[in-house]
């Protein structure tokens, strides 16, 4: 049943359907208007009734499909907004983690610089002691 329902919009928007709708417009409306002035060209009442009902049914079907498509689009957009909000929250959390990581790296760099400075001072002292012992 779902496959059948999925094919209805495709069929209604096909070239053949559009041709049929144009034919119905010409036959029911334009020739009907001409029939008001030239009664011999007027479509029969039964033909107008049958084709008019067909037109009404296809119009109602088209409106239902349009409403269904709008509802589906709205639902899809709503889901997209929810996913976007989740993505934004994930990005905020990622930025927070990145900031903490950068802070940790800077802290480690500061400690490294202090250790390096201490080692340089130690080497200078060792060199000084060493040079004093040589003298």
Does the pLDDT at position 135 exceed 70?
A: no
What's the CA gap between 51 and 22, in Å, rounded?
12
Contact 56, 40 (CB under 8 A): no
40 DSSP 8-state letter:
G
43 DSSP 8-state letter:
P
Q: Are residues 125 and 73 in the same domain?
A: yes
Q: Are residues 19 and 80 in the same domain?
A: no
pTM over 0.85: no
Q: Is residue 50 part of a domain?
A: no
Q: Are residues 39 and 80 in the same domain?
A: no
Take residue 79 and report the two structure tokens written for it. 């889901």
Distances (CA, A) of 29 to 18, 41, 92: 16, 12, 61
Q: Is residue 2 part of a domain?
A: yes
Q: Is residue 30 part of a domain?
A: yes
* Domain extent for 13: 1-43
pLDDT tier for residue 65 given thresholds of 50, 70 and 90: confident
pLDDT value, residue 105 = 97
Q: Is residue 104 part of a domain?
A: yes
How many domains in the chain? 2
Write out pLDDT tens, residues 14-60: 788 778 878 877 777 787 788 888 888 887 888 778 777 777 777 77
- 65: number of Cβ within 10 Å: 15
Take residue 73 and report the two structure tokens written for it. 């689009």
Contact 28, 51 (CB under 8 A): yes
Q: Is residue 3 part of a domain?
A: yes
Q: Is residue 49 part of a domain?
A: no
Q: Are residues 78 and 34 in the same domain?
A: no
Report the candidate in 75, 52, 88, 61 with the shortest Cα–Cα distance to residue 5.
Answer: 61
Average pLDDT, the chain: 85
Q: Which is more confident, 5 or 117?
A: 117
Q: Are residues 27 and 66 in the same domain?
A: no
Contact 68, 57 (CB under 8 A): no
Distances (CA, A) of 47 to 28, 43, 122: 9, 6, 109
């Amino acid at each position: 049943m779902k496959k059948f329902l999925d094919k209805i919009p495709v069929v209604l928007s096909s070239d053949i359907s559009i041709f049929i709708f144009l034919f119905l417009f010409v036959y029911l409306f334009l020739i009907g208007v001409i029939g008001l002035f030239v009664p011999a060209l007027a479509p029969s009442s039964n033909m107008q009734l049958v084709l008019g009902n067909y037109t009404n049914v296809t119009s109602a079907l088209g409106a239902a499909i349009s409403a269904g498509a709008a509802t589906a689009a709205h639902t899809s957009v709503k889901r997209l907004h929810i996913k976007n909000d989740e993505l934004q929250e994930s990005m905020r959390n990622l930025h927070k983690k990145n900031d903490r990581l950068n802070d940790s790296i800077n802290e480690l760099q500061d400690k490294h610089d202090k250790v390096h400075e201490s080692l340089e001072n130690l080497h200078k002292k060792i060199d000084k002691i060493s040079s004093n012992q040589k003298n």
